[in-house]
Structure 1
Amino acid sequence: MDSPSQLRPGLYGALIGCIVTLSIGFTVGGWYLGSTAETLANARSKVAVIEALVPICVSYQQVDPNSSGKLAELSAMKTAYEQRDFVMKAGWATMPATDAPNRELAAACASALARSAAG
């Protein structure tokens, strides 16, 4: 089957246009594959949940009978890792119906407590 000679430039143009559109769309156009979008959504929802749980962790610290001493001890710690581990050991990052503290929550809570103690 022979195609007319005028059809070939049109097909090449359509092919090049498709490639350029896809390239621009996926690089600067904000297009994502389904798997990439799901990964981004999971990461953002995890951050949102941690941010929502930080006030609960702070309230656990406030009702702790040794709150002022522990907060002073937390403020004296140099690294964020030490502060995170301290919050985990204090039990402030252990949410109801869980057996173990949440590491990401402990880090966020330690940061919030250190800011409140400093300011």
Structure 2
Amino acid sequence: MTFPEWTKPGIYGAFAGAVAVSLLGFTWGGWTTSGGAQEMADSFAAEQVTLAMVPVCLNLSKADAKRVEILATLQEASSFQRRKAMMETGWATLPGTDAPSRDLADACLAELALDGS
């Protein structure tokens, strides 16, 4: 069986076009793999849970009998140590978990506005 002379360049052209379309689609076209989409969805869900839990953290801080002392400790802590100090208060622990959440601690600190401004 003989193929026409244009077959080989046509196949190479189709292959090169498929590669070019794939590269453009994934870099500039907004295409993503299922793994990348799952990673983005997990990240978004974690952010939303953190934002939803900030009022709980603030309510825990308001209900704490040692609030004044804890806020003073947080205020005196350096900006690098504030997250750790907030995590030690227990206010940044999600209900049903044993360990405090770093993201919730950061969000709660931001809402408490302890930077003096």
Q: TM-score range by the shorter chain?
A: 0.7 to 0.9
Q: Which residue of 1 aligns with 2:66?
A: 66
The 5 A counterparts of 1:96-111 are 96-111=95-110
- Alpha-carbon shift at residue 99 of structure 1 (Å): 2.6
What TM-score, normalized to structure 2? 0.83
Q: Which residue of 1 aligns with 2:39?
A: 39
Aligned length: 117
Q: Give the root-mean-square deviation of aligned CA atoms.
A: 2.0
What TM-score, normalized to structure 1? 0.82
Q: Which amino acid aligns with 2:116?
A: A
Per-residue CA deviation, residues 16-73 of structure 1 (Å, 9 max, x unaligned), is 2111101111111111111121112112211221121112111111111222232122
Structure 1 position 83 matched with structure 2 position 85:
no
Cα distance in structure 2, aligned partners of 1:6 and 1:35? 39
Specify every segment of 5 or more residues in structure 1 that has no aligned partner in the other structure, as ranges.
none
Sequence identity (%):
36
Tell me if structure 1 keeps the 8 A contact 2:25–2:31.
yes
Structure 1 position 118 matched with structure 2 position 105:
no
